[in-house]
Chain A
Amino acid sequence: MRSTFRSIVCFALLLCAQMVFAQTAVEPSPPENPQFSRHVIAVFSRLGCNAGSCHGAVQGRNGFRLSLFGARPELDYAQLVRDQAGRRINQLDPENSLILLKATERVGHGGGKVTSRTSAEYAVLRRWIEQGAALDDAERSRVAKLEITPREQVLKTGAVYRLRVTAQFVDGSQEDVTNLCAFQSLDNQTATVDRTGQVKAVGVGDVAILARFRDEPILAMALINRESTEPFPDTQPLNFVDEQILAKLRRLNIPPSNVTDDATFLRRVRLDVTGQLPTPDEIRLFLSDAAPDKRIRKIDQLLNEPGYSALWTLKFCDLLGASDFGVYADGLAEHFEAPRFQAWVRARLEENLPYDEFASRILLATSREGRSREDWAQEVTALQDGYKTPRTDLELYAKRKTLDIYWQRRDAIGVPGAMQVAHAFLGLRLQCAQCHRHPHDIWQQDDVLSFANFFIRVRRVGFEGDNEKKYPDDAKLFKQFEAEGKRLAEEAKKMKEGPVKQLGEKAKQATEERNRIKNEIAKVEQSGKTDGLDAKRTELAALEKTLSEHLAAQQQANDLERRGRLLGDEVAKRVLHSGIFHLTDEAAQKTLAVVESPLGSQSSRDFRLLGEREPVTLGPDEDPRERFVAWLRRPDNPYFAKAIVNRVWSHYFDRGLIDPPDDLSPLNPCSHPVLLEELTRQFVAHKYDLKWLHRTILQSRTYQQSSQTNTANATDRTNYSHFALRRLPAEVLLDAINQSTGSRDDFDMKYYHWPENLSTVEIPYTTRNDFVTFVLEQFGRSERNSSVQCDCQRQSEASMLQVLGLANHPRIWQKVNDPRGRIAQIIKQTSDPSQRIAELYLGAVGRLPDDAELQTCLGHIASAESPEKGLQTVLWCLLNTREFLLQH
């Protein structure tokens, strides 16, 4: 749902919809001499005329096209004054200008009535027309600085204050533009703002108010504290995280919830860190442990379990789009690559490689890693050869230093590649800015294009027609492999037509004879005699030998054939079409990242890092990615460390300190800036140690708070006064169902050499099991491709199909009723009905039943057809409770 909030905010920004006609405050009179680029455009922005959904759309609306948010005044002027034979402006009778008639809906207007004849906006437009409808020098009215006052205001619920916006223009003039701005509260439950800039506190918490003058946005903050006579509780922080969280709660006067009980903590931390439910034994042991540091020890233990690296492999593979393959003729495929990608990431997490190094080894990946192309080809051969059961290529690939598969994915380079890098490693969403100025961020199109140039000199995988010409050495190798492949295929063919065929005929005969002799032997044995039995057995052995010779020859031919295909097709194609390296040829030096949009084809000549003013100058052979990574690893990088800190935080709290966690925009205010700074600083000081980061968050009181709210904090969503409920991720949920029912799903992926015992969290791509696919799709699984770069890919909303699936899918009932499942085990384990129920509760919801629950269950079991049936229903119920479905 949160993504929806955010998106609606985007709408808001896009539309600047301030449609309240009631005049609430006395407005200063509109400018006497309105200028087009300074005032008229601002009115368009304020009324939403130039928003993307109205005339600001690329193709305009109903023949009238404005630049988005008025970014290009001269074009807008031409549209307004010259287009359609100038009928939009009537200088002889300004009141009857089409533009005014439409805006006030005196003639039909698709957008309805957007202003009234008595409004200040109307006056601006009318006066401008009256005074000659001239185009002023837009450059003079460029905004040098936009200021909003008060920038931050502390107030009580019900209180009101007024915002003022002042623009300083490049020509040195200054103007109060409050009445030319659109205002927007980013959280209307906390404070509202009207079109005059008057803010009213309606709830408790802090809220950002956004003002926009033309296409320039600016934020002001309001902090509204709760009125209460009760003293703030004396809650003790456990670490510096809590100090910051509590400090803000104290300022808002929102008391935090208590620390949660041990059983809830254990379930929470085990699910969050390893993606698994705690076992009944583990729960009992933990509950009986009296040591005061048991939570700290548990956190350490869990961070060192394989579940931790499995869960974060899932998260990083989602983030990095780890199964997006299939460029023509590159020899790459999801079933080869996705598991390798995963294996590599997992190995790095298991060794807890510092995060900056992790990122660097992905971003600077090359296929050869400095080796000769022959050595690399050997690696490729071994990898392809390892695609069998069990897959030996995975371990081999995991040993590589760098992850070249990242760059072998579809759309990994140029503008789409840059956007993925920005999203995954910098927590920035740049999609909008590809084509136009980002409507609710600071990014301009030139920022994105200049940044994308860093990723344009990576070789693009796939058949390009001229690869053989462009890379003659690779082509030579390609031909060798192709020839070798052909030779092997020939050899296999010869074998099949020769010896295999001959042996096959013998074998056919031998099979018949073998059956006859087997029958004879059986008859003799039945009769109890032994006459001639040995001779027959010798004969049988000879026949068996013929058969096995045939099989061996067949196998040999098949092996040859497979190897032929492997070398001649898979390896050869990869060698020529899929190696990742830095391009140094002359053409590559001239290539620029390009974006094609309805606005045309655009590019930038500069290499400029995001947020930097000056472009960098590259040496002729320099890999621009190196510059990028060096910038990334600078301790003062504004995004890199912060992005991962914020993402890890949001994993545990379901919202980022900056939220959504992939939108580190200056216009998306952080709820706890000091905390985020401090966590980031210490994370960098701890050499980007991910486990340090996890541990620090997990050890905080804030993480260990109860989800049970008190009367004062129930409506708080952003200040961590209590633990926020959230649904288990799809994969974790399915594993939890399997764990509590003692069943598993056959993924039906033997054909692709998947190991037998994978958990759902560990699957690298879609399985052939319909139930698994159904659950993952309904509960939201990332598609791991470049179609959506957003942390919101895993949607957490509820749906009918989810509920129906969990309650009534035949597979769920099969699991509950599994004759070798959890219930069967419990029945064997104990005959006491209460204990049986206790075991079910521990296994499914991680706690013991309370008295009322126990009595209800006992009653149900007593009235059931059989104890087994009764227990099955109880288990079914538990799987369908919110307690099971939610992290709490």
Chain B
Amino acid sequence: MLNSCSTFRQHTRRNFLRIGGASLCGIGLLDLLRSQCQAAGGSSKAKQMIVCWLAGGPPHTDMFDMKPDSPSDYKGEFQPIASNLDGLQVCELMPKLAKQADKYTIIRSVTTMNKPGDHSRAPMYWLTGNPRLPSGTEKYPMYGSVISKLKPGPAELPTFTVLGKIDHHINNSIAGSFLGPAFNPFIFDPLAAKDDIAKMLSPQMELPAFTKNAELLKSLDKRLRGQDAADPLIAGLDQYQQTAFDMLRSPKLRAALDLSKEKPETIARYKQNHLDKTRYPSGDPLHFLLSRRLIEAGVPIVHFSLGYWDWHGENFVAGRQQIPMFDSGLSALLEDLEERGLLETTIVLALGEMGRKPKCGTDKNAGRDHWDYAQFVLAAGGGFKRGCIVGATDKLGEQVTDNFYKIESFGRTLYHLLGIDADAAFPAQSGRPIRLIAEDAPLIKEALI
């Protein structure tokens, strides 16, 4: 937030000097903004980020905001257990995460307050930090798109990777933003046999043949060369073609996605408690492992959607199936990142777009309905405190009673850690300059080291 205006002026003034010609092509602009951003943000605690998205909204009072003293029609079937953090009890189905509570922060006081909420809108809010709607608002970018634009990772790797899809309801409809298509995420699922985009990231032939083809292309693509220097579109195309071919030739991404390089025990550790058949789609815990491998390889942002948590019916059946799997996958990820010294610089988030209704009745097959007024966010690494609880809800788990923050605060906190100036403005398609987080909001300081 500091220096926002002067930074902004710098953007502008330096852009002025380049307006109208060659240097204002995609690449030039990118470099320009990147350099400014570094100037703006200074050093950042977090270099990378993993978002484990719990689409549909996990039940906060059954996981990280247990209310054992609430009435029977609220408290549900699960018992709390102590964690290794004083004052934090978690669900009995998460014994592993209970032992690692000294690694993460639990935030209980950020919610959409249903403005806007629901499955079609709340994910857009959470994942962009702005109340973006399917239609009628500016297309705010996801955090990863901003990183793609301002702090791209190594050239031979995608910067913003989505494994599978962004969300269960809105699918990938927020992939595009006013930053432009160049900063859209790479969305693919290496675990799906028929995923064309995953295939697209490897050469469709043996490497020598691919190289030969690329050479032939180079010798045939000689027309329209005279005006290169002056034309931003052409310069961009050339640059991207070069980078794309380098990426295809490089073994880095393929190696990162190749799970056969992992020991069977490791895979087993991540897959522990994973069931083949579940009441709701469970997602694939190997996405945790792939995330770790991508982070190790140097990919800045990895996002995946882990199954479906919209448990209107049979909340506790679903909980017994999915929570232990989540426990194994996430705890394995945290352990591994810690062991590799990556947790210091990697934000790990686990959250959904809402909580679930604390009042669930006492039916055998009770479900929990939507709850847009309280939920949990698990945030570890990258500058988030180790072992910390931020905010509180009332004794039923219905309303935030302490340290309430809007989603904008959460978004600004992420940008802060990632070294991005959330007040940096970019031209939206309507021509209006829009700040990355449009509204002012305080950082969630309690959660930060």
Q: Is the CB of A1 within 8 A of B425?
A: no
**B4-A431 in contact (CB<8A):** no
Across the two chains, which residue of chain A brings its CB closest to B25?
A: A1
Q: CB of A52 within 8 A of chain B?
A: yes
0 or 1 for each of B152-167: is its CB under 8 Å from A? (1 = yes): 0000001000000000
Distance in Å from the Cβ of A756 to the closest Cβ of chain B?
Answer: 23
Report B245-259 residues with CB < 8 Å from chain A CB: 245, 247-248
Segment at the interface with B among A241-249, A531-539, A707-715, A743-751? A707-715
A883: CB under 8 A from chain B? yes
Q: Within the assembled complex, what's the spacing in Å between the Cα atoms of A59 and B435?
A: 13
Q: When the two chains form their complex, are residues B247 and A801 in contact, meaning their CB atoms are under 8 A apart?
A: no
B residues near A789, Cβ cutoff 8 Å: 430
A790 touches B20 (CB 8 A): no
User: Which of B42-50, B89-97, B230-238, B279-287 has 4 or more CB atoms under 8 Å from chain A?
Assistant: B230-238
Given A777, A793, A800, A873, which contacts B182 in the complex, CB threshold below 8 Å? A800
Q: Which residues of A contact B243 (CB under 8 A)?
A: 800, 803
Whole-angstrom distance from the CB of A280 to the nearest CB of chain B? Answer: 18
- Chain B CB within 8 A of A75 CB: no
- Decide yes or no whether B193 CB sits under 8 A from chain A: no
Q: Which residues of B contact A511 (CB under 8 A)?
A: none
- Complex: A807 Cα to B240 Cα, angstroms: 11
With A10-B431, A14-B433, A188-B17 already in contact, the answer to whether A725 and B234 are too (CB < 8 A) is: yes
A6 at interface, CB cutoff 8 A: yes
Known A725-B233, A803-B237; judge A881-B220 contact (CB<8 A).
yes
Choose, from A127-135, A294-302, A543-551, A779-787, the stretch at the interface: A779-787
Residues of chain A from 853 to 888 with CB closer than 8 A to chain B in the complex: 853, 856-857, 860, 873-874, 876-878, 880-883, 885-886, 888
Please tell me if the beta carbons of B12 and A715 are within 8 angstroms of each other in the complex. no
Give the number of chain A interface residues (Cβ < 8 Å).
Answer: 100
Q: Which residue of A lies closest to B245 (CB)?
A: A807
Does the CB pair B175–A4 fall under 8 Å? no
CA–CA, A813 to B139, complex, Å? 33
Q: Judging by beta carbons under 8 Å apart, are A881 and B16 in contact? A: no
**CB within 8 Å of B: which A766-810 residues:** 770-771, 774, 777-780, 783, 785-790, 792-793, 795-805, 807-810
Interchain CB contact under 8 A, A888 and B224: yes
Q: Which listed residue (B20, B196, B204, B427) contacts A190, Cβ 8 A? A: B20
Whether a CB of chain A sits under 8 angstroms from the CB of B261 is no
Whether A1 touches B233, Cβ cut-off 8 Å, given contacts A188-B19, A790-B430, A810-B200, is: yes
Number of interface residues of B (CB under 8 A): 82
Cβ–Cβ < 8 Å partners of B183 in chain A: 799
B49: min CB distance to chain A, Å = 20
CB within 8 Å for A877 and B221 given contacts A190-B20, A797-B182: yes
Given contacts A725-B234, A801-B181, are A808 and B203 in contact (CB under 8 A)? yes
CB distance from A737 to the nearest CB of B (A): 15
Minimum Cβ distance to chain B for residue A201 (Å): 13
B237 CB contact (under 8 Å) in A111, A778, A882: A882
**Residues 636-680 of A contacting B (Cβ, < 8 Å):** 663
Residue on A nearest B7 in the bound complex, by CB = A112
Question: How distant is the Cα of A709 from the Cα of B227 in the complex, in angstroms?
Answer: 7
Q: Decide yes or no whether B11 CB sits under 8 A from chain A.
A: yes
Cβ of A762 to closest chain B Cβ, rounded Å: 23
The residue from B5, B217, B427 contacting A112, defined by CB atoms under 8 A apart:
B5
- Separation of A432 and B26 alpha carbons in the complex (Å): 26
Give the residues in chain B near A287, CB-CB below 8 Å: none
The 0/1 profile, CB within 8 Å of A marked 1, for residues 1-17 of chain B is 11111101101110111
- Asked if A185 and B429 make an inter-chain contact with CB atoms under 8 angstroms apart, the answer reads no
Say whether A786 contacts B135, CB under 8 Å: yes
Closest residue of chain B to A774 (Cβ to Cβ) is B197
A431-B231 in contact (CB<8A): no
Given A8-B427, A188-B17, A808-B200, A715 and B230 contact (CB-CB distance below 8 Å) = yes
- Asked if A5 CB lies within 8 Å of chain B CBs, one says yes
Contact with A along B178-206 (1 / 0, CB 8 A): 00111110100000000011011101100
Pair A110/B1 contact, Cβ less than 8 Å: yes
Assess the B427–A10 pair: CB atoms within 8 A.
yes
Q: Is A61 an interface residue (CB 8 A)?
A: yes
Is B401 positioned at the interface, with any CB of A under 8 Å from its CB?
A: no
Q: Is A317 an interface residue (CB 8 A)?
A: no
Residues of chain B within 8 A (CB-CB) of A110 are 1-6
Interface 1/0 per residue, A693-730 and B, CB below 8 Å:
00000000000000111000011010000000111000
Q: How far is the CA of A805 from the CA of B180 in the complex (A)?
A: 17
Find out whether the CB atom of B227 lies under 8 angstroms from the CB atom of A111.
no
A187 contacts the other chain (CB 8 A): yes
* B403 adjacent to chain A (CB < 8 Å): no
Contact (Cβ within 8 A) B237 A715:
no
Closest approach, in angstroms, between the C-beta of B17 and any C-beta of chain A?
6
Whether B224 pairs with A707 at a CB distance below 8 angstroms is: yes
> Within the complex, what minimum Cβ distance (angstroms) separates A265 from chain B?
15
B184: A residues at CB distance < 8 A = 777-778, 799, 801
Considering only CB atoms, which chain B residue lies closest to A883 in the complex? B223
Asked if B440 is at the interface of the complex by the 8 Å CB criterion, the answer is yes
Contacting pair A882 B224 (CB below 8 A): yes
CA distance A786 to B429 in the complex (A): 12
Give the distance to chain A from B14, nearest Cβ to Cβ, in Å: 10
How far apart are the CA atoms of A111 and B201 in the complex, in Å? 44
Measured CA separation A22–B428 after assembly (Å)? 33
User: Would you give the shortest CB distance from B249 to chain A, in whole angstroms?
Assistant: 11
B119 vs chain A, min Cβ distance (A): 15
A883 and B221 in contact (CB under 8 A), knowing A12-B12, A803-B237? yes
Q: Tell me the smallest distance from the CB of B303 to a CB of chain A, in Å.
A: 16
CB–CB B230/A714 < 8 A: yes
**Which residues from A are CB-within-8-Å of B227?**
707-709, 714, 725
User: Which residues of chain A come closer than 8 Å to B4, judged between CB atoms?
Assistant: 53, 61, 110-111
B241 at the interface (CB under 8 A from A): yes
- Look across to chain B and name the residue whose beta carbon is closest to the beta carbon of A770: B196
CA distance A813 to B213 in the complex (A): 13
Chain B proximity mask over A183-214: 1 for CB below 8 Å, otherwise 0 = 01111111000000000000100000000000
B223 touching A795, Cβ below 8 Å: no
Are B204 and A810 touching (Cβ within 8 A)? yes
Cβ contact within 8 Å between B19 and A9: yes
Please, which residues of chain B bring their CB within 8 A of the CB of A143?
none
**Is A617 an interface residue, CB under 8 A from the partner?**
no
- Chain A residues contacting B15 (CB-CB under 8 Å) are 8, 11-12
In chain B, what residue has the closest Cβ to A847?
Answer: B223
A811 at interface, CB cutoff 8 A: yes
Interface centre among B186, B200, B248 (most CB of A within 10 A): B200
A9 proximity list for chain B (CB < 8 A): 19
| Cβ contact within 8 Å between A880 and B136 | no
Question: Nearest-CB distance from A185 to chain B (Å)?
Answer: 7
Q: Is the CB of B433 within 8 A of A883?
A: no
**Residue A188 contacts which of B1, B16, B196 (CB distance < 8 angstroms)?**
B16
Is A54 part of the contact surface with B, judged by Cβ < 8 Å? yes
Whether B213 and A876, one on each chain, are in contact in the complex, defined by CB atoms closer than 8 angstroms, is: yes
Identify which of B21, B133, B182, B201 contacts A717 (C-beta below 8 A).
Answer: B21
B-chain residues with CB within 8 Å of residue A785 when the two chains form the complex: 135-136
Q: Which chain A residues have a beta carbon within 8 Å of chain B's beta carbons?
A: 1, 3-12, 14-15, 17, 19, 48, 52-54, 59, 61, 110-114, 184-190, 203, 324, 410-411, 416, 429, 431-432, 663, 707-709, 714-715, 717, 725-727, 770-771, 774, 777-780, 783, 785-790, 792-793, 795-805, 807-811, 813, 853, 856-857, 860, 873-874, 876-878, 880-883, 885-886, 888
A-B residue pairs in contact (CB < 8 Å), sample of 17 = A1-B26, A7-B431, A15-B8, A17-B16, A54-B5, A61-B4, A188-B18, A188-B19, A429-B430, A714-B230, A715-B230, A725-B231, A787-B138, A809-B199, A857-B220, A860-B216, A877-B220
Known: A15-B12, A803-B244. 13 other contacts (CB 8 A): A7-B433, A53-B425, A111-B9, A112-B9, A113-B6, A432-B430, A714-B226, A797-B26, A797-B181, A801-B184, A807-B244, A877-B217, A880-B217
Q: Which 6 A-B pairs have the closest CB atoms?
A: A7-B427, A112-B6, A111-B5, A189-B20, A798-B236, A799-B182
